Amino acid sequence: MAFNRKDLLGIRELSVEEITTILDTATSFKEINERPIKKVPTLRGKTVINFFFESSTRTRTSFEIAAKRLSADSINISASTSSVTKGETLADTARNLQAMAPDAIVIRHPSPGVPYQLARLIDASIINGGDGAHEHPTQALLDAFTIREQKGRISGLRVAIIGDIRHSRVARSNTHLLTKLGAQVRIAGPRPLIPPDYESIVEDSSDALLVCNRIEAAIEGADVVMMLRIQRERMSEAFFPSLKEYSIQYGLTLKRLELAAKDAIVMHPGPMNRGVEISSDVADGNRSLILEQVHNGVAVRMAILFLLIGAEGE
Amino acid sequence: MNKLLIKGGRVIDPSQHIDKVTDLLIEDGRVKAIGNDLAADDAEVFDAGGLVVAPGFIDLHVHLREPGQEYKETIATGAAAAVAGGFTAICAMPNTRPVNDNASLTRYMVSKAQEAGLARVYPIGAITRGSEGTELAEMADLKAAGAIAVSDDGRPVMNSQVMRHAMEYARDHGLVVVDHCQDTQLSAGGVMNEGRISTLLGLKGISRAAEESHIARDIMLCELTGARVHIAHLSTAGAIELVRRAKARGLPVTCEITPHHFALTDAAVVGFDTNTKMNPPLRTEEDRMALIEAARDGLVDAIATDHAPHHEDEKMLEYDQAPFGVIGLETALGVALTVLHHTNGVALPRVVEMLTAGPARAFDLAGGTLAVGAAADVTIFDPEREWTVEPQQFKSKSHNTPFGGWRLRGQVVTTFVAGSEVFRVQ
Ligand SMILES: [Zn+2]
């Protein structure tokens, strides 16, 4: 059960053992979240900074609750602009954060790599809370946790990930994690929203990762169908003709879901565009685990904080 | 010092097909003689045993930040970095602030270089006013003031009609048109090579097609206009192929490659070190090997550094926000010898040719030769000496190199401009 990292930056660097350690640890923390008094003294005296360059109430709140349930002091800092527009360098940002002497910093940033750059400059543990279109490791871990809890395993499952893969850090982190744990990942979406050479991003060159031309091919026989949000703000770049056509071609409906395995589950990292990538009857249907994902997010983030800053000297 | 006798070095001068251990006599700043057992009683003697004696190197592509951004580099510090890298002549791109699109600015740069008294600095004028891509700059006036070529480097001329007229006009005035080839609509927002690594890192890519389609256009316009066209910093296998075909058809096209493109691939970007961010971006191993092959087989005219100084604070930004560009004058020879010669077996005379006679021919520059009577611009280097790149020791004002900490084999020992020693290694 060793986890000897200073930082949690991406799934790509993690071994199967490390991933399993996080998921197993989360299982024991989930139990705390179901008690009447949801608080333990594990991280008393520790300081966690949530440093968000992008608004994300969901992820930030999840980390904040996770820290508080472990009795850590949790501080939120938000910044709406990148360092370049503030006239500040990342080194300045790092020095300022360091001066607050935190134990862990959760960073969300629109530019890929910022958590990696800061991790080289800061002594505190850096947790990547999402960096541009690169990685979102805690989301992938909570997704895997949810799948494992429902299905009892990840190895051998067929997981369809559908939508805007190009701009999705969730897709990348999930692709790494699920293929590492032995699942088959099938990707589908409009081709302009699938980045070049996506098939080659995992080490395993066999059929662990498939890019499908049509959503039906990805869903066929899938055990898990994970829908991604279409980012309306990107519509101007002509990635696909219209939201209407998108929903017809790539939206998840009850009828399309029939192609999946009989006991298939439906996931979405949120926030959803109902009626675009997912119909309401699917989103609210009995296959949907969307709220369970949110619930599990707290336990997974507690596990990560504990493994990074709580386990030393014990 | 009036007479200098460089004794017993391996003289490599591709302009005269010379590669032999011999002596070189310099008198009053000019090459007086090459030959065995030269003697001159009153000459200072330089023992070049075990060293290579070559014509002074010429870099067709550097960015000096003066005027406008002297905190990154000045003409004087750039010239000092040049001679420390063995370059006795450098061609300065016009993207200063303001842009070098007029004769007075060109003259200013020439006079600053003369004041510094180190490397020769040849300004390159802009193709279009302000490098904005719409109206032609006054090329004849630029040339009269000392500009030796025209380029809107960094801001590719996207309007094909403007480029056509620029080529027609430049041809009339005997100017080479140097193009940074990139379809800026295809490359919009891109910060690295488009491919597996950009997908892994979630960084926006610049496709090979963005470079190659623009090169293809320039080659067609070259054929249409008869102008001399120099393609800057080729980075892809496809780009090499396009130039190969153009040359085979006898078109007046020349090209250059940079040490960073033949030494590194986009795998260097993993880790998000902004010293790996350059334009065109680092490509794949296949592209890198195509560049090395083209260096070996004679297709490539010049190794150019695209020396692009940036202050540390500017590079210490988010990867997608940091400026493009790396410096290269002081590592060019070491990287070229290490990668091309020692690792990939490119012959030493061929490497020297791409640093001397090749660039001189491409831009019709004096120099690049040790012919009797030529100005005694001489670079003496040790092809075997190993050294570690320490950016803080550079003469350049900036330290943005991807080669920091690299162990290189091959180092400049001494540089002479017009017979005067302007650099000697510590
Ligand atoms: Zn350029």
Q: Which of A108, A166, A176, A301 is catalytic?
A: A108
- What distance, in Å, lies between the first and last C-alpha atoms of chain B? 21
H/E run at residue B420? strand B420-424
Residues 6+ apart with CB under 8 A from A284: none
Q: Which DSSP symbol is given to A190?
A: -
Write out the two tokens for B281.
Answer: 């971006």
Q: Is A118 on the interface with B (CB under 8 A)?
A: no
Handedness of CA B386, B389, B395, B401 (dihedral sign): positive
Write out the two tokens for A198.
Answer: 């996506």
Contacts of A134 in chain B (CB under 8 A): 201-203
d(CA A130, ligand 1 centre) in Å: 33
Which of A 40-69 lie inside 8 A of B, CB atoms?
Answer: none
pLDDT at A313: 46
Residues 6+ apart with CB under 8 A from A236: none
| Cα–Cα dist A159/A271, whole Å | 20
Q: What is the mean pLDDT of chain B?
A: 97
The label of the residue with tokens 């280097």 reads B381
Which pTM value belongs to this model? 0.95
User: Are B379 and B54 within 8 A, CB to CB?
Assistant: yes
Span B306-340, pLDDT tens digits:
999 999 988 999 999 999 999 999 999 999 999 99
Contacts of B198 in chain A (CB under 8 A): 195-196
Higher pLDDT, B118 or A96: B118
d(CA B142, ligand 1 centre) in Å: 20
| Cα–Cα dist B194/B143, whole Å | 38
Query: Cβ A89–B201 below 8 Å, yes or no?
Result: no
Q: Is A100 on the interface with B (CB under 8 A)?
A: no
Residues 6+ apart with CB under 8 A from B426: none
Span B263-290, pLDDT tens digits:
999 999 999 999 999 999 999 999 999 9
Q: Is A237 on the interface with B (CB under 8 A)?
A: no
Span B66-83, pLDDT tens digits:
999 999 999 999 999 999
Handedness of CA B415, B421, B422, B424 (dihedral sign): positive
Contacts of B316 in chain A (CB under 8 A): 89-91
| Cα–Cα dist B118/B423, whole Å | 9
Stretch among A6-20, A81-95, A220-234 having the lowest mean pLDDT: A81-95
User: Are B45 and B16 within 8 A, CB to CB?
Assistant: no
| Cα–Cα dist A66/A61, whole Å | 8
How far away is chain B from the Cα of A35, in angstroms, using its nearest Cα? 39
d(CA B323, ligand 1 centre) in Å: 13
Quote the crossing angle between the two packed helices B237-248 and B208-225, to the nearest 10°. Answer: 10
Provide the residue type at B168 as one letter. Answer: E
- In the residue annotation, B306 being an active-site residue is answered as yes
Q: What is the ipTM of this complex?
A: 0.94
Span B173-218, pLDDT tens digits:
999 999 999 999 999 999 999 999 999 999 999 999 999 999 999 9
How far away is chain A from the Cα of B272, in angstroms, using its nearest Cα? 6
pLDDT at A86: 72
How far away is chain B from the Cα of A246, in angstroms, using its nearest Cα? 23
| Cα–Cα dist A213/A193, whole Å | 12
